[in-house]
Structure 1
Amino acid sequence: MNTAALDLFQQLLRRALATPPAETRRLLHGRGRCWPGLEHLAVDWLEGVLQVQVFRPPADLQALCDRCRALATEQPAVKAVWLQQRYLPGSPGLWLLGEPRTQWQASENGLRYHLLLGHAQNNGLFLDMRTGRQWVREHVHGKRVLNLFAYTCAFSVCAIAGGAAQVVNLDMSRAALARGRDNHRLNGHALDRVRFLGHELFKSWGKVARGGPYDLVIIDPPTFQKGSFVLTQDYRKVLRKLPTLLAPGGDVLACVNDPALGAGFIIGCMAAEAPALQFVERLENPPEFPDCEPDGGLKVLRFHWGNTAVGPCIAAAQP
């Protein structure tokens, strides 16, 4: 980052922090490549904590840290600044201001989530999925939901808040599912309508199927998970199982967050592996996640098993 990029960084964040968001939001999405020189930066507002994520080694780390401190001292609402070096193994970070915090809480659309800072690459809540979580909350009343690759169960929290009859969460990380339980408890949810399966998906189809059939299946996998999931190889295997998991008339939210794969990848895989499911729409990403290429950011596509006509968005969704 040169001086001009640092000036732009400071200008954009000063504008965003003039009136800090009431809830957790992304303030700067440099990875959308809309601001030259900031392509490897992302800044999130964690309701008092400013989280700065750096995805490639900056030319002058000290200069970036100095700009972050200067911004924070201008804004009384900023209590701490956490700069995370995502380009290093383990994604370590530096507390540039305030007391180090390993645990924090985030709010989104009135729901609360536990965050862990400084423990791992991700803090527990993917902010670009906000509209996806809200869609689930608005469309699951009385329905049975399967949440694959559940991580910390944010979709599950939204589903129960929306009146889902039951949610089954599956993730191979039992620690992540334990945080999911805590997220439900944080929102005052009884757990009698929520199940947590700490298993590797491809060895657990029988257990997953016994909880169905489901009215909604959410598929939000990692791009790569060593020893268990490679998106380009394994996504099709998941889609192939949908007819045995989904109730007729049900919906699927199929997600991909790999800039190299467009929405057409999901549509093509679904057509080949589960042709009874018809593409309906692509959910819009939150406006604070602009991208210079429409297919560069998160893709959240809804498919329906029924007579729903193919939605008008299909042309835009294809690469």
Structure 2
Amino acid sequence: MRRVIRPALRRLLLLSTIAILCSSLPLSAQSITAARINEVMIDNVDNYIDSYGKRSPWIEVYNSSAGTIDLAGCFLTDDPQDLKKYMIPKGDVLTVVKPRQSVVFFADEMPLRGTFHLNFTLTPEAPHYLALVSSDGSSIIDEVEVPAAIPADHSYARIDDGVRTAGAAAEAWHITQHTTPGSNNVVKDKNEKINRLQAADPNGFVMTVTAMLVVFSGLLILFLAYKLVGIVAMRIEGRQETLRSRLNSRLHREPTEVVSTTEDPLVAVAISLALTSELEMGGGEAPGRLTIQPRPQLYDPWSDKSQMMRPTVECKRLKA
């Protein structure tokens, strides 16, 4: 049974690996198709310079996808009959283009200067065909017809970065003096909200009143907050002062005579009897003063225990 199960598991594992590899191939091919020729300058007189300090025609390639693409192995050409005219070298990390970013290739016929220097050039007198070709050398990723007689230091650029239209090239491309090599073609220098406010309030009266209200509201809030804090602090200080005064008055109060009284009637009767007996026996050395003198005998005859106890018959016999 185990011998039958193991080959089945191996086949399932092999099929799943093949399926994963096959599914990853279309994804990588689809990501490279997001590359676009985004901007081209033919007559570079006083514009973008390369790392060697030279000015030459340049081509901007833009990544219009949300994922990173690698241009290594792809081709750039200006000849529809030779799609493999310049192969972008492999192994250069700078050919990896991040989402919504771009790289610039210089058409200076000097490929020995580096990865981004092409083996062909562009002249302003004639129109030019440019194409970005996939690594298979036959699949065209993007292409464009650059018109002739473009003014110096002007570029032929897409109106919207990386957007390909189904109609004529005039609907997606235009000639502009505002060149943006290595950056986005569309630079948003306006704010729609500010424009609407400017149209609704051309004199700035509403903006001024709003700013003043904001400032005065902030000041009022600060005043109320400080006022509340001050009231609370004063109340706490008053309570502490009252407690201090009460404590001082208790500490400096004069001592008063303490009169001890009792409400128990038995205690009062006992005290009265003691005073009466003392007066009858002539106690007191001076009028109005009570003195207690010790008695000569410890026990009264009537209260002596020896008189109260009678000897028993056995005790009498022992005595006899």
> What is the TM-score of this pair, normalised by structure 1?
0.21
Richer in helix (by share): 2
Richer in strand (by share): 1
Give the number of the structure whose alpha-carbon radius of gyration is greater.
Answer: 2
